[in-house]
Amino acid sequence: MYGDLMRVVIAGGHGQIAMRLEKLLAARGDTAVGIIRNPAQVDDLCAAGADPIVCDLESASVTEVATHLDGADAVVFAAGAGPGSGAPRKDTVDRGAAVLCADAAERAGVRRYLMISAMGANQEPPPGTDPVFAAYLRAKGAADADLASRAGLDWVIVRPGRLTDEPGTGFVELGMHTGRGMVPRDDVAAVLLALLDIPASRLTLELVSGDTPVEEAVRSVVSA
């Protein structure tokens, strides 16, 4: 598969990182498939070069999602309840939908699974954390723990620092522990693309802006 054209299914296909990744994949001839809940987002995905699939991951069955993943080379989980949603949807989307997609990937026989998580998802939120944000971090942590327990998937969890819309620099710091920092969404998408190209499995990585070119950073953590 490596070096060949890929079919990549992205859950949460209208998200800001997802749209960037779809454009990168489409620009080089890969097939990007975006799973979205809202039919009004179809045109946006088509404009990004992605094939849209309308499917509500909060209500879909494993069988339904597995059908959408059939024939894929990789799954990227980029879904999230989004700003303005309450704690219950952090659980149903950021945790529940991630578990659902992992179940579906196993059923469809798609081993490669990239998860966009969050910095701090591996820790209990400190006292005084906004309750909804705390629910988000707990949901992400639970989804990460579920994915990490799966022997049937070649998973990589990426935990970016604070996301920005600044233009990407192409230089990052990527590793098991990077410390807090910011990172443009452009660079997160570039790292995901490199992780799709370079064989990687069973890694949990933190990601912030840094001084290392994206591909070099990814090759370094994979070889280590």
* Enzyme catalytic residues: 136
Residue 191, Cα to own-chain centre: how many angstroms? 11
- CA dist 133 and 129 (Å) reads 7
Contact 194, 214 (CB under 8 A): yes
Give the Å distances, CA to CA, from 50 to 7, 37, 63, 99.
10, 15, 23, 24
φ and ψ at 155, to 5 degrees? Answer: -100, 150
- CA dist 207 and 203 (Å) reads 12
Strand partners of residue 175: 206
- Within 8 A by CB and 6+ apart from 180, the residues are 119, 161, 162, 208
